[in-house]
Amino acid sequence: MKQLRESQIYRDYEAAFRETTGLPIVLRPLEAFDLPHHGDPNESPFCSLMATTNHTCSACLQLQKRVEEESRMEPKTLKCFAGLCDSAVPVRVGENLVAFLQTGQVLLHKPSSREFGKLARDVINWGVQADLKQLEEAYFQSRVLDKKQYEAVLRLLTIFAQHLSSLSNQLMLAAKQAESPMITRAKAFIAEHQHEEISLRQVAASVNTSAFYFCKMFKQATGLTFTDYLARVRIEKVKNLLLNPHKRISEAAYETGFQSLSQFNRVFRKIVGESPTTWRAKLKQG
């Protein structure tokens, strides 16, 4: 999650999305019990005011919880008490749900005085102390999109979520964090010998350290165990080999160091989120 959020591709997309749509966007971790768009440059003036009162803030938090619960398998849009839409698109790394791309705070129709009147009565009944004139001005400043426009925005988010998912393995392998010369040499050794049946002890020996110390330092530097890192390197190599339409999947698996097809299929599905056959079929469709 941290690596996805700090990646250049996410930061570029985030800036482009805000500039193009005028809407807020956030890559939100699972079970983050907060208001996702509070403080966003494109935060709705109305939502910003509502976030300062306990009752309405609580209503927004409950909506966020529902959005998260209902969007674990597919994009979901819900409306808040004020009629504003909020949407979440699931982001997966392999088979695991790791985050949501969220946007919203948008009306799908022009606000009316009648709607605001009902909203104002609800706010008063809740005992919220608010400047109704200021609230009305903020409400009528809400971003308005028609249904088709908003559906197009959500398609953009869905495509980007899929893109983040497909790039997640490369982002994890290329995490730009300071690393010691030992870790750099170890990565180079793994890249050179990934097609062989190499062990943790062999890699540790190549950088003149004990297996125990190397294991600890490698996990600390990369966030991955040696076994997981090696599997991810091999999967990236397989994906490159499979760009050749004449290369058989089994050939690619054995060439990159996997010892059996069952092991390869299991690891590929875990990391990529689908079988190698399905992944390759999508290449042909593209």
* Cβ contact 60:47 at 8 Å: yes
pLDDT in tens, 109-120: 999 998 888 888
Q: Are strands 96-107 and 26-29 parallel, antiparallel or unpaired?
A: antiparallel
Q: Mean pLDDT score of the chain, rounded to an integer? A: 86
Q: Which two tokens stand for residue 91?
A: 């982001």
Alpha-carbon 179 to chain mean position: 25
What are the residue ranges spanned by the domains of the chain? 2-173, 181-285
Among residues 27, 23, 50, which one has the least CA distance to residue 123? 50
Which residue stretches of the chain are H helix? 2-6, 8-21, 45-50, 54-70, 113-125, 132-139, 147-173, 181-193, 200-206, 211-222, 226-241, 249-255, 261-272, 276-285
Look at residue 26 and give its three-state secondary structure.
strand
pTM of the model: 0.65
Instruction: Say what the pLDDT of residue 144 is.
Output: 93
Q: Which two tokens stand for residue 168?
A: 């997640």
Q: Which two tokens stand for residue 188?
A: 């180079």
pLDDT band at 55 (very low <50, low <70, confident <90, very high): low
Instruction: Say what the pLDDT of residue 54 is.
Output: 65
pLDDT in tens, 5-49: 878 888 899 999 999 999 999 998 887 777 888 889 999 988 888
Task: Give me the residues paired with residue 143 across strands.
Answer: 106
pLDDT in tens, 83-107: 889 999 998 877 778 888 999 999 9
Least confident of 157-166, 169-178, 192-201, 206-215: 169-178
Q: For residue 173, how many C-alpha atoms fall within 13 Å in the half-sphere facing its CB? A: 22
Top-confidence residue, 161 or 31:
161
The architecture in CATH of the region 181-285 reads Orthogonal Bundle (1.10)
Task: Give me the residues paired with residue 104 across strands.
Answer: 86
Among residues 237, 227, 235, which one has the least CA distance to residue 200? 227
